[in-house]
Amino acid sequence: MKSPNHIVKKVTSMDNDTRTLLNLTDPHLNFPHHWLKHKTIKKVRVAQISCTLSYTPRACPNCGVINRGQILKYGFYQAKHKYGQFRAQPLMLLVKTQRFQCPDCHTTFNATSYLFEHQRTISRDLKREIILRLTRIQTIKDIAHDLFISEASVQRVLLDLAD
């Protein structure tokens, strides 16, 4: 019989070395056993990494009430984040993101990660790669082509730098 203090460790199929290699080090990301799939999008083979982003929030970001168990988990939504490339193949994260509901202010909010900016489909790592390439003598069109993103995405990153 197990003691009441027995802690069951959640097993994920992506090992720590792979997480470090891909810079997916957020401890709130959990990966299923079959986390890697390949899909052809616009005649380009894309590696899709599936994961779940969930945790217990400390407080409601809207009203600021401290969570003492009253903030409810309120389902999930699927987000797609472009994550750069690995071995000249584009990576896409399919993130099943936890939603929460605050009973005090009756609002919903989503789990967040430092890997992604709010309401952006480009990861912070990909944004850094775009910035790095913008410092070189390379056209916006070439950067977009090399990183499998649109020219408008590169231009938005450039405009964000100007602000």
Residues 106, 43, single domain; the answer is: yes
Question: Which is nearest to 29 in space by CA: 127, 114, 117, 89?
Answer: 114
What is the number of structural domains in the chain?
2
| 2 in any annotated domain | no
The DSSP bridge pattern shows strands 44-53 and 89-102 to be parallel
Q: Is the pTM of this model over 0.75?
A: yes
Tell me how far apart the alpha carbons of residues 122 and 124 are, in angstroms, rounded to a whole number.
7
Residues 57, 99, single domain; the answer is: yes
Residues 61, 98, single domain; the answer is: yes
Tell me how far apart the alpha carbons of residues 94 and 91 are, in angstroms, rounded to a whole number.
10
Residue ranges of the chain with pLDDT lower than 70? 1-12
AA letter at 57: P
Residues 102, 140, single domain; the answer is: no
Owning domain of residue 136 = 122-163
| 5 in any annotated domain | no
Q: What is the pLDDT of residue 16?
A: 86
**pLDDT of 2-38, one tens digit each?**
545 555 555 557 888 888 888 899 999 999 999 999 9
